[in-house]
Structure 1
Amino acid sequence: MVLTVLVFFAGLLLLYYGAEYLVTGSSHLAFSFGVRPLIVGMTVIAFATSMPELMVSLLAAFKGSSDIAAGNIIGSNIANVGLILGVAGLMMPMTVARSTLMREIPFMIGVSLLLYLFVLDGVLGFANGLILFLLLIGFLLYCLRTARTGSVVEVDAEAPRGRPGESRRRHLVFIGLGMVGLGVGAELMVRSAVIIATALGISELVIGMTVVALGTSLPELAASVVSAWKGEMDLSVGNVIGSNIFNVLFVLGICPMIRPLSIDPSVLRFELPIMLAFSIALIPLLLPGMKLDRPRGALLLTAYLIFIGVLFV
C-alpha cells in the first residue's frame, strides 16, 4: 500500500512538471506570434493545462473506470472555479473584462448545462462526444477571429542574441517534454488511484472528484496563481474559463467517442448541479464592480472546501 501511495505521488509530480513545461512552452510560443493574453489563457494555456485531465480520463476510460474518468472532469471544473479563482482572488484582486462576463462565462455555463442534459440517461455516448467536440471547434474558430494583438511579442528578452526561430524551437522542446511527462504521470496516477480506492473502500467517483481532480488541476492552479501574482489578470481568468470549456468539450468529447462513459446517478443529483452552481455564481459574484477581490475569493474558496467536506461525509 505504501508503494502504491508513492507511485501515486510520483505520477502527480510528473503531471505537475509535465504540465509546467507544456504551459511554459505553449504560452511563450503563442506570445511570440502576438496572440492576445485573454485568448492565450482561454486556448493555448487552457489546452495545455487540460492535458492532465485528458490523459487521466482517457486511461481511466480504457481501464473501465468511468467514475474516475467523469469524476475527474467534474471535480476539476469545480476546483477550477472554487479553489483556483478563490486562491488567485485572495492573492491579488482581479479586474474582469465585461466582454468576458457577457460572452465567455455564459458559454462555459452553456456547455456545462449541455453536458448535464446529455448524461440524463446515465451514459455519455459517441454522438454526445461528437457534438461536444464540434462545439469545441466552433469555440476555437471564435477565438481565432479575435486572437491577434497586431504585434509580435518576443518573450525571451533575457536572451537578446537568440533569434526568434531558435526561441520557438526551444519552446517546442519544452512542449514535447511536457507531453511525455503528462503521459507517464497519468498512467501512474490512474493505476494507483484505483488500487487505493479499492483498498480503502472509497468509491472511485469520490477519488476521481477529489484526489485525482485536485492532482490534474495543479497546472491550472500554478498557471493562474503565477499569472495573478504577475498582474496578468486576463491570463488568470482566461485560463480557468478556457480550462472548464476544454474539459467538457475536449476531454468529454474525445473520451466517449473512444469508449462510452457510464455516469453514476448520484452525479446527476449532486456533483453536476454543484458544477453548474459554481459556474453560474460567477456572474452575480463578478458583476458588482467587475472585480474578483479578496472577500469574493474567500467566498469561492470556502464554498469549495464545504463541497469537499460534504463529499466525504
Structure 2
Amino acid sequence: MLLHATQLVLGGTFLYFGAEWLVKGSAGLALAFGLRPLVVGLTVVAYGTSAPELTVSLAAVLEGRGAIALGNAVGSNIANLGLILGLTAIISPPRVEGGLIWREIPFLVGTAAVVPLLLLDGTMSRLEGALLCAASVGYSVWVIRSARGGAAAGAPSPRPSPDERVALEAARETEADAERAGAPAVTGKPRLALITLVGLALLVFGGKVFVDGAVGVALGVGMSERLVGLTIVAVGTSLPELATSMIAALRGHSAIAVGNVVGSNIFNVLIILGGAALVRPLAGSPDAMAVDLITLGALTAFAAIAMRTERILRRAEGAALLAMYAAFLVALVLAG
C-alpha cells in the first residue's frame, strides 16, 4: 500500500509540474510566433490545463481501465464546478464576461447533457469518441471566430476588443502562475520549445505512474476503479486548474478562474472522453453512475443559471456549489 501511495504522490507531482511546464512553454511559443492572445487563451491554455486528465485517461484506457478514464472525466468536471468554482466564488466573487455567457455556457450545459445520452446503451463507442473529438475542433474554431467578431485571421486590431483584453490578461497570468508553480522563467523559442517537450514527457510519465498507484490503492482498500477515478484521480488531475484558479482569485483575477473551469469542463467531455473512447470503447452503466451523472447535471445547471441571471457568482452561490460537492463525496462513501 505504501508503494502505491508513493506512486500516487510522485505521479501527481509529475502531472502537476508537467502541466505547468507545458502551459508555460506552449503559451510562450504561441505568443513568440505572433499568435493573438485570444487564440492562445482559447486553445493553448485551455488544452494545456486539460492535459493531465487526457494523459491519465489515455494511460488508463490503454491498460484496460476504462472505468478510471470515465470516472476521471466525470469526476474532474464535478470537482471543477463544486470544489474549484465554489472556492473561487467564496474567495473573490467573479463577474462573468458577456461573451462567456452566450458562447461557452450553452456548450457547458450541452456537454454535460451528452454524457448520459452517449451511455444509454452502456457503451461509448469509437465512432462516438471520434464525433466528440471532431466537435472539439469545430468548437475551438467557432469560439475563436466568434470572439474575434468575424475578423479575418491575423488581421490587425488597432483597438483590442474586451475579449482580446481578457484573453491577454489570462495568457499572461497563466504564464506567471506556471512560473510561480515551478516552471522556468525562460524566454526565446529554443528554450520554450525545450520546456514544452520536457513538460509533455513529465505528463506522459506521471500519467503512467499515477494510474498504477491509483489501481493499487483501489485494490488495496477495496474501492472500485470507478470510485477511484471519481475521487483520487479526478482531484489529482485537476490540480493545475485548482492552482491556477486559486491564485487568480487571490490576486483579484477570479474572472479568469471562471473561464478556466468552464473551458476545462467542455474539453474534458469533448477531448478526454472522446479521445479515450476513440482508443478503446468505454463501458458505463447509467444506472451504476446515477449519482455521478445527477450530480454533474445539478452542478452544471446551478452554475449556469447563477452565471446567466446576475452575471456574478456570489459567495452564497459558491458555498452552495461547495456543499453540493461535499454531499456528492458523502453519497459516494455511503454507496460504497
TM norm structure 2: 0.83
SS at match of 1:237: helix
- The residue identity in structure 2 corresponding to 1:205 is R
Q: Does 1:223 align with 2:239?
A: no
- The residue identity in structure 2 corresponding to 1:72 is N
Quick check: 2:22–2:197 contact (8 Å CA) kept in 1? yes
Report deviation, 1:257: 1.4
Partner of 1:56: 56
Report deviation, 1:95: 0.6
Q: How many residue pairs end up in the alignment?
A: 305
- Over the aligned positions, Cα root-mean-square deviation in angstroms equals 2.5
Distance 2:247 2:40 in 1: 15
Change over 3 Å in CA distance of 1:252–1:300 after alignment to 2: same
Report deviation, 1:267: 4.5
Partner of 1:301: 322
Unaligned segments of structure 2, at least 5 residues: 149-153, 177-185
1:275 to 296, 319, 335: 296
Partner of 1:83: 83
SS at match of 1:134: helix
Unaligned segments of structure 1, at least 5 residues: 158-164
- The residue identity in structure 1 corresponding to 2:136 is L
Distance 2:315 2:40 in 1: 25
Quick check: 2:109–2:304 contact (8 Å CA) kept in 1? no
Partner of 1:232: 253
Distance 1:252 1:196 in 2: 23
TM norm structure 1: 0.89
Partner of 2:22: 22
SS at match of 2:188: helix
Quick check: 1:23–1:223 contact (8 Å CA) kept in 2? no
- The residue identity in structure 2 corresponding to 1:252 is L
Distance 2:195 2:56 in 1: 21
Partner of 1:68: 68
1:245 to 266, 269, 272: 266
Report deviation, 1:168: 3.8
Q: Does 1:200 align with 2:201?
A: no
Partner of 2:275: 254
Report deviation, 1:243: 0.8
Quick check: 1:124–1:262 contact (8 Å CA) kept in 2? yes
- The residue identity in structure 1 corresponding to 2:87 is V
SS at match of 1:93: coil
Change over 3 Å in CA distance of 1:170–1:50 after alignment to 2: same
- The residue identity in structure 1 corresponding to 2:125 is G
Report deviation, 1:234: 4.1
SS at match of 2:238: helix
